[in-house]
Amino acid sequence: MPRKAQAAQCLELTVAEGFEQTVHVDSGIAAILGAVVGALGTGGAAVVTGVWAAKTAQHQAAAQDAQARRQLRAEHVRERRGPRSKAYADFVAQARVIERALGRYQDSHILEMGQFNQEVDKLDYLGVQVLLEGPPSVIRPSQDLISCAHRCMRPLRVSIAALHEFGDESSEYAAAKSAVGDVGFELIAEVKDFAEAARRVLDDDGAGQADASVGAQVATTATVARDAVADSG
């Protein structure tokens, strides 16, 4: 097999191993260079080294810039996790308060809904904290949850009025109570959707970005090495 073909084959094998086994980028680069130089021999090694030096500067500058950006993002994600976790937890806890209040109010003869309205207003306030903390992936679920909480008010008011006016054995109260149950199930679903979106955000520690950076540097090294082998012939 010609030396250049041997070099290319060694390069492919080394790159494949680098993605699976290499922890430090430098060791992956050393493995690739060692395979290429060993296949080309002493004379070819000098040519490859010269071409490598010329091509690597440009690739390294771009790779280092991309890696720096990824590392900054990962650090940002980690710094925001604490405040976001508190904002999400407070928001979900208040939504659960409203869930419980729905059942408590519809079975009571209390016509005044001031306390329930205050609980919804509090959810509005905590929703602002979620908006400020972000990221965009939790904004829509939080707003859907708040809207659903507001939709609970009318059927709950109708249910309480029907209970007070017609009694708990009336068809009017049964229909109104069923409507409250329906919107209550919607609220539970919205809470679940928000909680899942929030969990995905909190599970993202930026490590995936760092791993991608390692893979990108190994891939860049392989590209430069292939060019060097080609130029040496």
Tell me the three-class secondary structure of the chain, residue by residue: CCHHHHHHHHHHHHHHHHHHHCCCHHHHHHHHHHHHHHHHHHHHHHHHHHHHHHHHHHHHHHHHHHHHHHHHHHHHHHHHHHHHHHHHHHHHHHHHHHHHHHHHHHCCCCCCCHHHHHHHHHHHHHHHHHHHHCCHHHHHHHHHHHHHHHHCHHHHHHHHHHHHHHCCCCHHHHHHHHHHHHHHHHHHHHHHHHHHHHHHHHHCCCHHHHHHHHHHHHHHHHHHHHHHHHHHC
- Digit-by-digit pLDDT tens for the chain (233 residues) are 555 555 445 444 444 444 444 344 455 555 555 655 565 555 555 655 666 666 677 777 777 766 666 666 666 667 779 999 999 999 999 999 999 988 787 666 666 788 899 999 999 999 999 999 999 999 999 999 999 999 999 999 898 888 888 988 999 999 999 999 999 999 999 999 999 999 999 998 766 554 444 455 555 555 655 555 555 55
* C-beta of residue 17 within 8 angstroms of C-beta of residue 31: yes
Report residue 55 as tokens.
């091509």
pLDDT of the residue at 161: 87
CB-facing half-sphere around the CA of 63: CA atoms within 13 A = 21
pTM score of the predicted model? 0.61
Report residue 80 as tokens.
């925001």
Residue with tokens 């290499």: 22
Report the 10 Å Cβ neighbour count for 34. 12
pLDDT of the residue at 12: 46
